Structure formats: structure tokens, C-alpha cells
Amino acid sequence: MSELYQVKALTRSFGKVEALKGVDLAVGKGERLGIVGGSGSGKTTLIRLLAALDVPTGGTIVFDGEPIRAGKPPKGFRSRVQVVFQDPRSSLDPRMKIKDIVGEPLRSQHRRDPKRVEQVLADVGLEPDVLERYPHEFSGGQRQRIAIARALAPEPEVLIADEPVSALDVLVRDQIIELLGSLTKARGLTLLLVSHDLAVVRRLCDSVLIMNEGGIAESGPMAQVMNHPREDYTRRLLAAVPRLKFGPS
């Protein structure tokens, strides 16, 4: 696996608060990496930097051989790397029709491609009749499908997802996890998935990064970290996950 991201000694401070305290990280092409941690662990800060939505205080990020300088990503980066946020209510412009929302990343590449818009909507399980409608007409799960369609429209190589199912109901959540799994696999996408929920990461990723207090507590292949955690923090995190006491026999 060749490396897509090379991150060295990455730091980010907000005033006196050190949100990231020197993170080293390599992400391979096609890797599906889960980033797990409690609130304030620095996981969202990290992926905002990886998405070039924020500027680091120190350290370097190299993307596919080219450095991201002071928040200025290399040419083509904005199409190659797409982001899906937690709350589709606030990430979709309420005044725009679905066809314009999903077509937006294409327009910034100076492409007008209604066929492509229809295709990605179909890929996420939505019918063409949604094209002329507005975000408020949809449920939370459908809005998240629309957000995923928008992210996939410019045929990105990397999908960054920040708590993509946390705002959803249990059953809808299950469907969106399935959808994200099949779409990333089918396209060989590199996935950076942030979640406070180990279960979600376990289903979608093949490697995992456990963050705590702005640093990396542990990282490695999913099965190794889940079954043989080396760090005490990871063990505590795994033990804290509420398990169903009784299950279908």
C-alpha cells in the first residue's frame, strides 16, 4: 500500500489549549482508518487538518507527495478529498434544491453533469424525483444519503466522515453504515472515519487510531487493537462499551 497521507509532529493549539500534541501518522491508499476517542481527544481537530479546513500550529502534512501549506492544499485536493459531517441538517443549504447541492462540487470543477448527479443519487438509494426538492422535505437518514451523494459526486479518492451516523436513529443508522461500507469498498476509497462509537468503526474500518488528550494512545490493524489492546486506555474504552445483556438466541 503506497502512502497517501504522511503526517509528522502535527500540533494545533487554540489559545492556551493544545488540542493536538504532536501527532505522527501515515495513511495508505485505500486504507479505511477509524479515529476513535472521547470528547476533547482531538479527533475532530485532526481530521479538519487532514481535510485542509484548518491550519496547523506546527508539523507537516504531505498529501500524495505534496505538502499542504498553511491550509493551501495542492491543486485538485478539494475534489480528491471530500467530507461528510455529523449533522446533515446544518451541512445542507436549506435554500438549494437537491440537484444543486449534489452538483455543487462538480460546478467547482467547472463541470455541469446532470447525469452524474442522477447517478450518485441512485448509488445512495434515492430516486430521480428528489432532484427538484429541498433538504427540509427529507428525514435525517435521507439527508445523510444526500450528503454522501454530494461527497461522491466529484469521484474523490478520500472520504472523510465526522460522526456520520451519530445524529441518526438506531435503524436508520444501521442502513447508513451498510451504505458507507458498500460504497467505500466498491470504489476502493480511502476512508477516514471519526467516531466516538467503537462499534461503528469496527464495522467500517480495517485499521484504527485511538486518541486521548490530543495524542495517539494506540493504533494498528482493527482486529489486533480490538482483540489484543496494548494500552490501558484502549482496554478501558473497550470495557466501557455498553453491551446487550440478552440477545436473540
Where in the chain does DSSP place strands (E)? 3-14, 17-28, 32-37, 58-63, 66-67, 81-84, 158-162, 190-195, 207-212, 215-221
Q: Binding residues for other proteins, how many (CB under 8 A)?
A: 27
Which one of the spans 15-23, 51-59, 75-83, 163-171 is the region binding other proteins (CB under 8 A)? 163-171
Q: Which three cell numbers stand for residue 37?
A: 476517542
| Contact status: 249 vs other proteins (CB under 8 A) | yes
| Contact status: 39 vs other proteins (CB under 8 A) | yes
In whole angstroms, what is the distance from residue 112 CA to residue 96 CA? 16
Give the shortest CB-236-to-other proteins separation in angstroms. 6
**Binding test (CB under 8 A) with other proteins, winner from 170, 186, 188, 227:** 170
Q: Which three cell numbers stand for residue 138?
A: 427529507
**Binding test (CB under 8 A) with other proteins, winner from 100, 113, 197, 213:** 197
Look at the block and give the residue holding cell 452538483. 103
CB half-sphere exposure, 172, CA atoms < 13 A: 14
Give the shortest CB-159-to-other proteins separation in angstroms. 21
| Contact status: 241 vs other proteins (CB under 8 A) | yes
| Residue 224 neighbours by CB under 8 Å, 6+ apart | none
**Binding test (CB under 8 A) with other proteins, winner from 149, 179, 198, 208:** 198
Cβ atoms < 10 Å from Cβ of 171: 8
Look at the block and give the residue holding cell 434544491. 97
Which one of the spans 13-21, 146-154, 169-177, 179-187 is the region binding other proteins (CB under 8 A)? 169-177
Give the shortest CB-196-to-other proteins separation in angstroms. 5
Give the shortest CB-109-to-other proteins separation in angstroms. 37
Binding positions for other proteins, rule: CB under 8 A: 38-39, 169-171, 173-174, 196-200, 202-203, 236-237, 239-249
